[in-house]
Structure 1
Amino acid sequence: MVCVSGRHQLGAGVSAPTRLAQTESAELFYRVDGEPIPLQLQADAIAVVFTEPPAARGHPPIPLYRRLQADLQGTRGDAVTVHPVGTDYAIVTLPRGSRSSRSTLIERVQRPYVDAILPVLSCCDRNEQILLPNEIIVSFEPDTTPAQRQVILAAQGLTAIRPLQFSDDRVLARLIELDHDTAVLTATERLHATTGVRSATPNFIQVRAPLEPPMQPPLSPSPAQFAARSRRPANLRTLAWYLDSTRLHPNLENRGVKAPAAWTLGSRGEGITVAVLDTFTQWDHPALQTNTYELPAPCPSAWPEKLAAGTLSTMTPIPASKPTSWPFCGPPFRARLLCPMQPCWRSMTPGSPGSDRTIQRQQMPRLPPIFADQIQAQVVNEFHGTQVAGVIAAHGQSDTAFTGVAPAARILPVRIGDISSGPMLAASVEAIAYAAERGADVINMSWGMLPATEIAAVITQALEDNPDLVIVASSGNFGDGEVSFPASLPAVVAVGASTLNGHRAPYSSFGPGLTLVAPGGVIQSHPTSGILTTGGTVTPGFWQGMPLPTQPWSWTQDPQGTYIWTQGTSFSSPIVAGIVALMQSADQDRSLSRDRIVELLTAAASHGPLTLTDEERDRYQTLATQTNTPATAPALTYFFGSGLVDAAEAVRLVQATD
């Protein structure tokens, strides 16, 4: 790894950098808390950034990634694959074994609607791709002045794009000139060696591998499974075995979290707000619409003219009559910034993809007319936030209706990306601070990302400023002995996944740092072994111009997708977030600190319903000889943390403490 010698002086020029530039021929890396994280440049792939498509009349425009795929098919050279990343990006990949060069691929994709070409990186041997846009998050030391910060950026050849909202000392910046593919990494390393800069991280865009096993179930269930789900049972709550599995399997040990027993103790999450930092949340789903966070009234607006026009941009100029210290504003102004973000714009978060063009419900993806056999998984997965929210706080109007873990809690939806790209780094930093500023009691993060100093810092600050705030995150779906970031942070409750049979779900990451487990399901064996939750395709507008389906498609429980079956630590995490809401609601005078809530949560968990497989026992014996496995951690703890969470016992412990 290339070493850094010395530190630049404030405002020093960049003509003579003190380290080797990170080019294609050099080692590539970025830093987390000063430690280098190695990266690899993918030789068989590039990413493209699309220009804004022109407005279409009468019909939606053809997606630009499909247009690029069609255009490339008509050119000489190997057939390539174009994979969309949201609406603004796409990854173009050469076929395996291709003799074409990366430079040739760059020449082939030059089109009027292609605005820029980005390198594609990888990290840590994970089956994910990383896009490197010309954006860097720069965190300044608190004692630097705005003028000094401008000097620092200019000296490094950077210009500010915008300040990060709800963050006093961070800006998003870009290089004025890019002299090589990975110049952003070079500039980031120079910033680390600059006085006045606390940290700097490229604003990576992580891309999940499409249809990555074992998480992605087959898109076409069997005819028998279709028929079984078409006969929708009257009692959906019974199918939600993760609440209480004895309702579905009365002769088996309870592998659910005993939420109904917690409700009988008088706690259903009343008065608690759970922020869901995720993809699109269908806030007007019948089981969610009355549980969504509402702003107090009256709420003055900082930009009434923008709201009236139907737009709210993070780049909106501050009127002259308002405070002008936008990058480093104080609490009074922050309160004004919160107000314009009305619940009707629940799919938008400050800094989210497309936030400079308000994300409206009308822009949600549309299903093709023929959907029964070949529906695209990303259409369903775009509503990942809806599914997570349903697990937490869906509210049924009867004893047989589908109900989440904490049906009286409120959901604060905050969009930070889409399912193909995963969470955007800058958006995630802003979203965590935003949720804390809104007064969320619990933050759920059903995602993982590359380790980043800025995420760790904003979580630390949010917890310091809000002593009762609990942050819960999924351990990851890589099935290995390393808990994903940010769940791996000590102050975050890291949740793995268990199955209806009491085993660790095969995809669930484990190891040091795992707090406990909750049901995550395994849908491949049978839908009812997965997690039933709210789907996002129930609203009539989604099906506009198409005949309504007459049978379930993909893994929906009913034809229109009111409810859907899924799996993953993404759904174990919100189960625990919901249980934390039950605990906080039971603590009526809010006398228990975050640390005490987490202590009682883990004390209520048990290994009793859980079982190790022979493979896991053998794996543990092998790992136990290695230094990275604590000798004091029993095998059950290594794979399950404190065990399977128990909502009823957790609430009882809270009530006994009061």
Structure 2
Amino acid sequence: MRWRPFLLIIAIAALSLLPTGCLKNNKVSGSVIIAGGTREYAQTAAAGAELPRSLSKLAVNNQRDLSEWVIPNELIVRYAFSEALTLAEAAAQPLSGARVSRSQSPGMALFSFPDHATASAARQRMQAIPGVIAIEPNYLVRTLSIGALQPLQPLQPQLQPLQPLTQNFTAARAATKAIPANLWNLSRIRVPGAWDITSGDSEITVAIIDTGFKLDHPALQGQWTDFKYDYVMKDTDPSVDNPAGANASHGTHVAGIVAAAALDLPVVGIAPQIRLMPLRVLNDNGDGSLLAIQDAIYDAVDNGADIINMSLGTFNNDLLDAAIEYAYNRGVLLVAASGNGAEDNEPVLYPACHPCVIAVGAVDANDKRALFSNFGPEIAVVAPGTEYYSSPQDCHGILSTIVKPDGTPGYGYLSGTSMAAPHVSALAALLASAGISDPDALRSWIQETAIDRGASGKDNEYGFGRIDALSAVALPFARVSLRAAPSGVTAAGPLAVNLDASFQFPHCPDGQWLLTVWIDSNFDQAINTGDYYGESRTLITIPGTNNDLLLAAGRIP
């Protein structure tokens, strides 16, 4: 046992050679929140902060009852080569059937027949043709608004015109820009704060796949892309045909939520500086077919859309899968409404339930899931879809642009997950305008910065939570630093935050430091008006226990 003292001496010597701090707690970690109000308010906001949540994968429920959604006497024929299509056309002709359209998707065509008997006979004949892969029904797609359109009354006392925003819109102007009470949905998701960083970029395009549009609406006429198409009438004018139709205003209303221009008008879109691609796939009553939507998705991608909004749905099938994956693989984000049939136990509709699509549910002005909003594991996030809703006869919706029954432009309220989805598409457009283009990154920032609602963590009713535009747009640019006080000299950082708003400095220098967070809203590399800034209330001591700190940033007035 004489060797034990010798080993102890060696161990002590070895420890003395280790770098200073290895046995000390020199780590600093925590999370960042983007608080409302000033930087002083932000210092006190951390105690009651609502934090975003972690990411999890979406599930897809493929068990759907499709019977109510089948378009009678129409068949979609999938074929392997053109000769099979020719033989299918020949088989349909004696039964008074005809090919109505041929999809842009390779190997798919739509046939129409006069009645159920001829359609059934044609199916049997076509199934025997070599090269015919499958024959299936064509499915009806519908808009996802609920309740009657409520026109804006001219003398509503709460409404004040908005001051114009221009391409020279600055953070300083955002500070003085008041949002009228009628546009509570913009305030709820903190859009004015997001405008400190960006109100959009004309290089970013959101395709609106919907009903027809009031193209000459004063709030929209300067927002359209050159490419426009009507898949109902098969021409290049996607205007409303019958303004008295039950859903004639739907597409115009959705478009206004996304990008109504910021002029001296009653409404403004969430991303007023971006461009809109109007693609009409539904008639003025709000009905259409999946093949038209499929072609619209392909065209949207090929003509430069960055984001595709689909405020429509049907029961789950796979007819849009190829088009959805075509868009996703080319860097285009897809957003869709979850559906309005929750009171009838309806599941999340297609295409929202596809894993490459962001499924959006609706909440009311109290951040409660709207009674109509379909829910399930596919829900990614929720957004404002109604102010209040008790029934289709007793509800008050989201204010946006409309076409009046006499064909003139106007403003009015609609409720539905159709109205919630464009909030998310517009938020994605703001993020894309700020330089985040990858669809997975867009989805992650939108989900991770959502405010938790309902059961803790991701749940079937609210998904990751209600979207928060300010946090989503600001946090990618948040930088955390350790600084000397009062000199401000940086000791560690600046460090970007993680997707869940967390940060960690693994090795920090000994001493007392000020922990700061800064979002350079106007990208001028100087801390000034319009930026978001926050700092720890007291100096932190290193080494020491500095884990799970909460750092709140407020706007510098």
Q: Give TM-score scaled by structure 2 length.
A: 0.63
Find 1:197's aligned residue among 132, 153, 156.
132
Find 1:266's aligned residue among 175, 198, 210.
198
Find 1:161's aligned residue among 99, 115, 129.
99
Distance in 1 separating the partners of 2:348 and 2:204: 28
Task: Determine whether 1:490 maps to 2:350.
Answer: no
Measured after TM superposition, the shift of residue 151 of structure 1 is: 2.7
SS of 2:200's equivalent in the other structure is coil
The residue aligned with 1:149 is 85
The residue aligned with 1:637 is 459
Find 1:512's aligned residue among 355, 377, 380.
377
SS of 1:583's equivalent in the other structure is helix
Native 8 Å contact 2:142 2:288 kept in 1: no
Change (3 A) 1:366 1:503: closer
Change (3 A) 1:652 1:366: closer
Change (3 A) 1:195 1:286: same
Distance in 1 separating the partners of 2:349 and 2:66: 17
Distance in 2 separating the partners of 1:163 and 1:481: 31
Task: Determine whether 1:387 maps to 2:268.
Answer: no
Task: Determine whether 1:364 maps to 2:241.
Answer: yes
The residue aligned with 2:146 is 215
Deviation string 1:357-378 (CA, Å, 9 cap, x unpaired) is x8685x73366xxxxxxxxxx4
Measured after TM superposition, the shift of residue 260 of structure 1 is: 1.3
Task: Determine whether 1:570 maps to 2:506.
Answer: no
Distance in 2 separating the partners of 1:189 and 1:513: 36
Native 8 Å contact 1:537 1:561 kept in 2: yes
Distance in 1 separating the partners of 2:205 and 2:275: 5
The residue aligned with 1:233 is 160
Unaligned runs of 5+ in 2: 1-59, 163-177, 479-495, 498-557
Distance in 2 separating the partners of 1:601 and 1:273: 18
Change (3 A) 1:227 1:578: closer
Change (3 A) 1:38 1:408: closer
Deviation string 1:242-265 (CA, Å, 9 cap, x unpaired) is 5443xxxxxxxxxx2111111101
SS of 2:441's equivalent in the other structure is helix
Task: Determine whether 1:579 maps to 2:451.
Answer: no
The one-letter code sitting in structure 2 at the alignment partner of 1:424 is: S
Instruction: Work out which structure has the larger RCO, using CA pairs closer than 8 Å and 6 or more positions apart in sequence.
Output: 2
Measured after TM superposition, the shift of residue 282 of structure 1 is: 0.8
Describe how 1:51-70 pairs up with structure 2 within 5 A: none
The residue aligned with 2:72 is 132
Measured after TM superposition, the shift of residue 155 of structure 1 is: 5.1
Find 2:404's aligned residue among 500, 520, 537.
537
Distance in 1 separating the partners of 2:326 and 2:463: 26
Deviation string 1:326-377 (CA, Å, 9 cap, x unpaired) is xxxxxxxxxxxxxxxxxxxx4x423x2x338x8685x73366xxxxxxxxxx
Native 8 Å contact 1:166 1:434 kept in 2: no
Describe how 1:426-575 pairs up with structure 2 within 5 A: 426-464=291-329, 466=330, 468-479=331-342, 480=345, 482-523=347-388, 530-537=397-404, 542=406, 562-575=410-423
Measured after TM superposition, the shift of residue 182 of structure 1 is: 5.0
Native 8 Å contact 2:123 2:135 kept in 1: yes
Measured after TM superposition, the shift of residue 459 of structure 1 is: 1.3
Distance in 2 separating the partners of 1:436 and 1:188: 33
Deviation string 1:132-154 (CA, Å, 9 cap, x unpaired) is 14x3222223xx2x224323553
Change (3 A) 1:233 1:430: same
Distance in 2 separating the partners of 1:595 and 1:187: 43
Change (3 A) 1:640 1:239: same
Describe how 1:328-367 pairs up with structure 2 within 5 A: 346=228, 348-350=229-231, 352=232, 354-355=233-234, 364-365=241-242
CA RMSD of superposed structures (Å): 3.6
Normalized per residue, the structure richer in strand is: 2
Native 8 Å contact 2:238 2:280 kept in 1: no
SS of 1:453's equivalent in the other structure is coil
Describe how 1:418-429 pairs up with structure 2 within 5 A: 418-429=283-294
Change (3 A) 1:453 1:200: farther
Native 8 Å contact 2:159 2:180 kept in 1: no
Change (3 A) 1:524 1:646: closer
Native 8 Å contact 2:158 2:180 kept in 1: no
Measured after TM superposition, the shift of residue 458 of structure 1 is: 1.9
Task: Determine whether 1:290 maps to 2:222.
Answer: yes
The residue aligned with 1:650 is 472
Measured after TM superposition, the shift of residue 190 of structure 1 is: 6.8
Distance in 2 separating the partners of 1:514 and 1:183: 40
Distance in 2 separating the partners of 1:584 and 1:163: 35
Change (3 A) 1:523 1:285: farther
Native 8 Å contact 1:482 1:510 kept in 2: yes
Distance in 1 separating the partners of 2:238 and 2:468: 38
Deviation string 1:600-622 (CA, Å, 9 cap, x unpaired) is 11001111xx457xxxxxxxxxx
SS of 1:138's equivalent in the other structure is strand
Unaligned runs of 5+ in 1: 1-32, 41-121, 124-129, 246-255, 296-345, 368-377, 544-559, 613-633
Native 8 Å contact 1:423 1:447 kept in 2: no
Change (3 A) 1:242 1:470: farther
Q: Bigger CA drift: 575-584 or 269-278?
A: 269-278
The residue aligned with 2:30 is none
Native 8 Å contact 1:160 1:171 kept in 2: no
Distance in 2 separating the partners of 1:396 and 1:218: 23
Identity %, equivalent residues: 30
Measured after TM superposition, the shift of residue 189 of structure 1 is: 7.1
Distance in 2 separating the partners of 1:271 and 1:581: 10
Distance in 1 separating the partners of 2:429 and 2:285: 29
The one-letter code sitting in structure 2 at the alignment partner of 1:285 is: H
Describe how 1:30-49 pairs up with structure 2 within 5 A: none
Asked which structure has the greater CA Rg, the reply is 2
The one-letter code sitting in structure 2 at the alignment partner of 1:265 is: I
Measured after TM superposition, the shift of residue 583 of structure 1 is: 0.7
SS of 1:535's equivalent in the other structure is strand
Measured after TM superposition, the shift of residue 534 of structure 1 is: 0.6
Q: Give TM-score scaled by structure 1 length.
A: 0.54
Change (3 A) 1:531 1:186: farther
The one-letter code sitting in structure 1 at the alignment partner of 2:274 is: A
